[in-house]
Amino acid sequence: MAERDNAAQTVFDPAAIRAQREREDRLLREKMRAALPEARERLAARGIDPEPVIATDYDGNPMTVANFYMMLRGYAVTEKAGQDPTYRAARCAIRSDLGPEVRDAAFVALNQQSAEEAGHGDKIFGAAYYEMGAIAAETVAEDGFQQGGDFLEPSADAAANTQKVLDMMAVLGGVETLALERAFPLVLHACAEWRHPLARQLIEQVNKIVKPEEARHVLTWRYLFHKGVAPRGEGAIQRYYMLTNWGRDRFLAPRMEWSEFERHMRASCPTVEQLIGRPMPVSI
């Protein structure tokens, strides 16, 4: 167990991942600035004025329609990137030593989350990006979404598989709470100021589809805390908290304070029906 904890600490080292992400972010910003003139041309060719200012970005800078368009690409590839780790974490859950009911709930919730992440990336943000500029949202190396090697490959060790699921859910919890707190409010605010049919479409899709599904993903983060982490004691709780903030470090975002983490986790354990938005399949 000690060796496994040390390995995880190395893989999820907050300072190292934040420094790496800062380097990647600089490269990505440079690439986006270089691509902005061509993006403006694509928007104009589709009859969309790229110049109106419709919001301010995370740094307080004015955001034009062209900047918003570039941001949508980032949202599309980020959401799409969540499909693979959630799919693989669901497969780890099957081979974990979580209790049967918890294992089943974790598998169904994570498997569903994988499909929903792909839907957000492809059907909503990716579709809007395409409609605005007539090209698909493609990942680039600077996005930093390279697959995480064999970390989430199930092993013959059920306890190790459980730890993988819990670790990955902690990371995802940091990302999902960040999306609900920062990303989607920014999209909705920009869309409210941009008087265009695509903006109205995005407002409806984010409010009716994306936000409810993302909120359920946060419930999975809380569910596995109650069912798989809290019973293991203070060390496991601190690890879950550390990895929740690793997820935020991954996006150079403000860290979650301990008081906020406690507030989330003091709430009652979500039901399985809340996790997936419906009763469990009767065959399980």
User: Residue 220's closest CA among 73, 76, 109?
Assistant: 109
The pLDDT of residue 11: 56
Tell whether 228 is covered by a domain. Answer: yes
**Residues 177-217 pLDDT 10s:** 999 999 999 999 999 999 999 999 999 999 999 999 999 99
How many other C-beta atoms lie within 10 A of the C-beta of residue 153? 11
Q: Which domain holds residue 107?
A: 2-50+61-276
Tell whether 283 is covered by a domain. Answer: no
**Residues 10-34 pLDDT 10s:** 456 777 777 877 888 888 888 888 9
Q: What is the mean pLDDT of residues 145-163?
A: 83
Tell whether 89 is covered by a domain. Answer: yes
The pLDDT of residue 12: 62
Confidence check: pLDDT of 2 > 50? no
Tell whether 55 is covered by a domain. Answer: no
Higher pLDDT, 133 or 5: 133
**Residues 213-258 pLDDT 10s:** 999 999 999 999 999 999 999 999 999 999 999 999 988 889 999 9
pLDDT band at residue 1 using 50, 70 and 90 as cut-offs: very low
The pLDDT of residue 282: 63
Domains identified in the chain, total number: 1
Tell whether 56 is covered by a domain. Answer: no
Confidence check: pLDDT of 142 > 80? no
Tell whether 284 is covered by a domain. Answer: no
SS in 3 state form for the chain? CHHHHHHHHHHCCHHHHHHHHHHHHHHHHHHHHHHHHHHHHHHHHCCCCCCCEEEECCCCCEEEHHHHHHHHHHHHHHHHHCHHHHHHHHHHHHCCCCCHHHHHHHHHHHHHHHHHHHHHHHHHHHHHHHHHHCCCCCCCHHHCCCCCCCCCCCCCCHHHHHHHHHHHHHHHHHHHHHHHHHHHHHHHHHHHHCCCHHHHHHHHHHHHHHHHHHHHHHHHHHHHHHHHHHHHCHHHHHHHHHHHHHHHHCCCCCCCCHHHHHHHHHCCCCCHHHHHCCCCCCCC
Confidence check: pLDDT of 75 > 60? yes
C-alpha to C-alpha distance for 84 and 204, rounded to whole angstroms: 26
